[in-house]
Amino acid sequence: MANNLGALEEVSFEHLRILREIKKCRFPRDSDKLLTFLVHIQVNWLSVAHNDLDELREFLPKLMKYVRVARKSGSKSRRRTR
């Protein structure tokens, strides 16, 4: 899971960098540059993030269930010790 989250973080930082560059562009003058940035975002998202999201989609509900159960059992044991 850490690898998936790390990959998504990397993709996000790259997209933020590209978005800062896109904000500097002017249309129609920089239309070629804009298209290049947008294609890069699309390819990066589809190739890297897609697989990581699929794996996280399966894993995160299990993790959330575990955390909820642990939280409930932890709150019960704390009540008993008071």
What pLDDT was estimated at residue 80?
Answer: 55
Q: What is the spatial distance between Cα 26 and Cα 56, in angstroms, rounded to a whole number?
A: 37
Domain locations along the chain:
2-81
pLDDT digits (tens, 9 = 90+) for 5-46: 787 788 889 889 999 999 999 988 999 999 999 998 888 777
* pTM value > 0.75: no
pLDDT digits (tens, 9 = 90+) for 41-57: 888 777 777 777 778 78
